[in-house]
A and B are shown apart, each in its own frame.
Chain A
Amino acid sequence: MAMRPIATTRQVTGIPTGRLATWWVIGSEIVIFGGLLGSYLMHRLVNMQWANYAAHTNTWAGAFNTLVLLTSSLSAVLAHHAASHGDGKKAARYLWMTMGGGALFVAVKAVEWTHEIQLGYTISSNAFWAFYYTAAGLHALHVIAGVIIMGIISVACLKNEDLHRVELIGNYWHFVDLVWIFLFPLLYIAK
């Protein structure tokens, strides 16, 4: 492995480069979801009958997933705490718990969607279901990506390498969490 360029070691703002870049990533993600949810809201406000379609979504599954995702954020915080004390092994274990939460979230989603598709509510049924599957699907992709990245980071943690990354993936995971906090009421509760 070649030596790192000097540019990668500088820190003029006082904020570590990785953290800075993660925030820029999150910023650009916010506008992606913002555009999607903004479009959904504009439609929802003028289409009263969408409340009838939304009545078919499974609020309990959504609520359970909210609980799962919020709990997984707790273990992400605990992983950061362990990493900031230099305990890579402990951080890795907490990251695995978070990954477990992410996996459970996706599994619940899969069961839920299978059921809905069997009932005939597919992505091409109407504009509400199109938004439902697109927005929740895009979010689920972010969950899956987060789990994969966390897996890579946890391997490095076991060797006590690059522990600062635990904080970065934690920030990302909180963001994914936050998107769900918007999706859950918009797609499941508002009926």
Chain B
Amino acid sequence: MAESVPAADVHAHDDHGHHEQSFASKYLFSTDHKMIAMQYMFTGMAMALIGGFFAYAFRMQLAFPGMDVPFWGQVSAAEYNALVTNHGTIMIFWVAMPVLIAAFGNYLIPLMCGCDDMVFPRLNRLSYQIFLLSAVVLIASFFVEGGAFGGAWTAYPPLSAKAEYSLTPLGSTIWVIAVALEFVAFLLGGINFVTTAMNSRAEGMGMYDIPVVIWMIVIASILFMASVGPLIAGAVMLVFDQTLGTNFFDPDRGGDPILWQHLFWFFGHPEVYVVLLPALGITADIMATFSRKKIFAYKTVLYTTFATGVLSFMVWAHHQFIAGVDPRMAHVFTITTLLISIPIAELCFVYIATLYKGSITLSTPMLWALAFLGEFLIGGVTGIFLGASGADVYFHDTYFVLAHFHYTFFPIAIIGTFAGVTYWFPKMFGRMMNETLGKIHFWGTVIPFNCIFIPLFFLGMGGQHRRIYNYENFPELAGQGMQDIRIFATVSLLVMLAFQVVFFINFIMSLRSGKKAPNNPWRANTLEWQTPSPPPHGNFGSEMPKVYRGPYEYGTPGREEDFWPQNAPS
């Protein structure tokens, strides 16, 4: 792992006074932003393995009901619910958030802004420690009496509020506490990110010299801070309902279950953009580098992103069209939901315009970035069906919805992450990754991904409802034709999971014996590439960089090199 990389070519320019660090202070209690980024990344990857394993177990049950699933055994109905619930929870809160925002944010913000650490290094460490605790708490819920929470990742009351309905007296409370702890960790991290990007940029780096990925992570952090508050209040209310016998959400005693849905989705919808924006930023930087072109309309990208952020607070009730909201209100939310596709579509056009007439290299990171664009587009277009309240009445809670949001979250959390990891791997670990293995892994992930989820759209249109343990009990859904599609999707998942082994082999082999990475293997402009790979403690040695221009000056006429580092005086 990160530990095995020798910091050989580092001129131990240790401004911080401690040369010999113990293992614990270097890897466990470090305040260095790069180490904390690695902690977040490896924790996120470990959680992704758990979340992926859960998906494997419940997909096996759906394809071959009642079978003895290898490495799990018989999946009972309660276990099925717990697996589905925690698959969703883990993939969003313990994979997408920590890897895309926390790992890349921690790694890139100080490096790309040209400073040596975050503005609150110890707060940063505390943020990771709380995050790790939250992950442990969540996993612990599988080992308590009654098992883990099974009321879906949206945790709608009264199912989630009452033990006699959920049958998980401890699991559901532990679930809420884990999620709340995770929110605290990301609030601390987010404040750190925003403040660092605002206050600690290198000399000469104006607002419009900041790389797009940093802007995106900062805007995502602000969206998170502005949206999570009501759900924190809601989490307190839900825990009180579960443990103290209050009745915030209990309709029998004057409460209102729809209130939870409002609180949840007021956060839940901006949350989609919280994880989307960093992925968009990562792909923007990769596309500019591998097209050797300036990002098309840099400022428009920023304004569009602001617009997306503002609009994302006005669409939440499109999750509740059949929850009894007033049809007049549904119209309003239909309109805002369709509106938000405009800035996102605009961003897609901007990316295509960046590629247009570029000098494109189809390296592994670039392939991931292009796949992100294409796959996310499918997610966006199918979202139009669900955003229109009329169509949603039919599609709601079917596999169409499920396939739709996997076409948004998979590109974000998996494709976006692989794009970022393969792009910054040389900087993080000082070694190049193997391109052939990288491409095998790419095709072995993207093709099976489409084979899993495109069939699910058709199942959804055929009326297949979500959250059903065994379709044999539903005569109209139990036909052999539908079952064959389920088996095809599950087999595709197995193929996709098998190809992840290629990634881990590539990762470990490259760490141990990959080609030594030069400082700037992709000939990119941003500041992180102007320092040794991996960067030493303090990032830039004794002299902090000065910034003279924007991050995307590629192919400037009259220059010998086709790139122009931000810190090069001329």
- Interfacial residues, chain A to chain B (CB-CB below 8 A): 2-3, 5-8, 10-13, 15, 17, 20-21, 24-25, 27-36, 38-39, 42-43, 47, 123-124, 126-127, 130-131, 134, 138
Decide: A127 and B199 in contact? CB cutoff 8 A.
no
Specify the chain A residue showing the minimal Cβ separation from B232: A32
Decide: B229 and A7 in contact? CB cutoff 8 A.
no
- Whether, in the assembled complex, B226 has its beta carbon less than 8 Å from a beta carbon of chain A, the answer is yes
CA distance A95 to B563 in the complex (A): 56
Residue contacts A-B, CB under 8 angstroms, 23 given: A5-B16, A5-B115, A6-B116, A6-B544, A10-B115, A12-B198, A12-B199, A12-B205, A17-B120, A17-B200, A21-B119, A24-B195, A28-B187, A28-B191, A32-B229, A32-B233, A35-B229, A35-B233, A36-B230, A124-B246, A127-B248, A127-B255, A134-B240
- Interfacial residues, chain B to chain A (CB-CB below 8 A): 15-18, 110, 115-121, 187, 190-192, 194-196, 198-201, 205, 225-234, 236-237, 240, 244-248, 253-256, 259, 262-263, 266, 538, 544
Q: Which residues of B contact A7 (CB under 8 A)?
A: 110, 115-119, 121, 196, 200
CA distance A35 to B248 in the complex (A): 13
Q: Which residues of B contact A21 (CB under 8 A)?
A: 119-120, 191-192, 195
CB distance from B13 to the nearest CB of A (A): 12
- Indicate the member of B198, B201, B228 with the most A CB atoms within 10 Å: B198
Q: Which residues of B contact A123 (CB under 8 A)?
A: 240, 244-246
Given contacts A5-B117, A124-B245, contact A28 B229 (CB under 8 A): yes
CA distance A178 to B228 in the complex (A): 21
CB distance from A137 to the nearest CB of B (A): 9
Decide: A2 and B199 in contact? CB cutoff 8 A.
no
Q: Which residues of B contact A11 (CB under 8 A)?
A: 199
Decide: B236 and A8 in contact? CB cutoff 8 A.
no
Q: Which residues of B contact A13 (CB under 8 A)?
A: 198-199
Decide: B236 and A138 in contact? CB cutoff 8 A.
yes
Decide: B247 and A126 in contact? CB cutoff 8 A.
yes
Q: Which residues of B contact A38 (CB under 8 A)?
A: 230
CB distance from A135 to the nearest CB of B (A): 9
Specify the chain A residue showing the minimal Cβ separation from B537: A5
CB distance from B115 to the nearest CB of A (A): 4
9 residue pairs, one from A and one from B, having the closest CB atoms:
A35-B230, A31-B229, A5-B117, A32-B229, A36-B233, A130-B246, A124-B245, A7-B115, A7-B200
CA distance A94 to B75 in the complex (A): 63
Specify the chain A residue showing the minimal Cβ separation from B260: A39
Decide: A15 and B254 in contact? CB cutoff 8 A.
no
Decide: B263 and A2 in contact? CB cutoff 8 A.
no
Specify the chain B residue showing the minimal Cβ separation from A138: B236
Tell me what chain A mostly uses at the interface: helix, strand, loop, or mixed: helix
CB distance from A51 to the nearest CB of B (A): 14
CB distance from A11 to the nearest CB of B (A): 6
Q: Which residues of B contact A47 (CB under 8 A)?
A: 254
CB distance from A19 to the nearest CB of B (A): 10
Given contacts A10-B115, A134-B240, contact A17 B199 (CB under 8 A): yes
CA distance A34 to B244 in the complex (A): 23
CA distance A2 to B110 in the complex (A): 19
CA distance A25 to B187 in the complex (A): 8
Given contacts A7-B119, A8-B121, A10-B200, contact A127 B247 (CB under 8 A): yes
Given contacts A29-B229, A124-B244, contact A5 B191 (CB under 8 A): no
CA distance A2 to B245 in the complex (A): 49
Q: Which residues of A contact B17 (CB under 8 A)?
A: 2-3
CA distance A33 to B18 in the complex (A): 43
Given contacts A24-B225, A130-B247, A134-B237, contact A8 B120 (CB under 8 A): yes
CA distance A15 to B194 in the complex (A): 13
CA distance A134 to B249 in the complex (A): 14
CA distance A131 to B249 in the complex (A): 12
Besides the known contacts A7-B121, A27-B225, A33-B229, 10 further A-B residue pairs in the complex with CB atoms under 8 A apart: A5-B538, A7-B116, A8-B120, A8-B121, A15-B199, A31-B229, A35-B233, A35-B266, A38-B230, A124-B247
Decide: B195 and A17 in contact? CB cutoff 8 A.
yes
Specify the chain A residue showing the minimal Cβ separation from B259: A39
CA distance A53 to B120 in the complex (A): 46
CA distance A138 to B120 in the complex (A): 26
Specify the chain B residue showing the minimal Cβ separation from A50: B254
Specify the chain B residue showing the minimal Cβ separation from A34: B229
CB distance from A161 to the nearest CB of B (A): 17
Contact of B253 (CB < 8 Å), options: A5, A31, A36, A127: A127
Q: Which residues of B contact A39 (CB under 8 A)?
A: 230, 233-234, 237, 248, 259, 262-263
Decide: A127 and B254 in contact? CB cutoff 8 A.
yes
Q: Which residues of A contact B230 (CB under 8 A)?
A: 31-32, 34-36, 38-39
Decide: A3 and B16 in contact? CB cutoff 8 A.
yes
CA distance A8 to B124 in the complex (A): 13
CA distance A20 to B16 in the complex (A): 25
CB distance from B187 to the nearest CB of A (A): 6
Q: Which residues of B contact A127 (CB under 8 A)?
A: 246-248, 253-255
CA distance A123 to B115 in the complex (A): 50
CB distance from B250 to the nearest CB of A (A): 9
CA distance A12 to B205 in the complex (A): 9
Specify the chain A residue showing the minimal Cβ separation from B262: A39
Specify the chain B residue showing the minimal Cβ separation from A137: B236
Q: Which residues of B contact A6 (CB under 8 A)?
A: 15, 115-117, 200, 544
CA distance A163 to B195 in the complex (A): 21
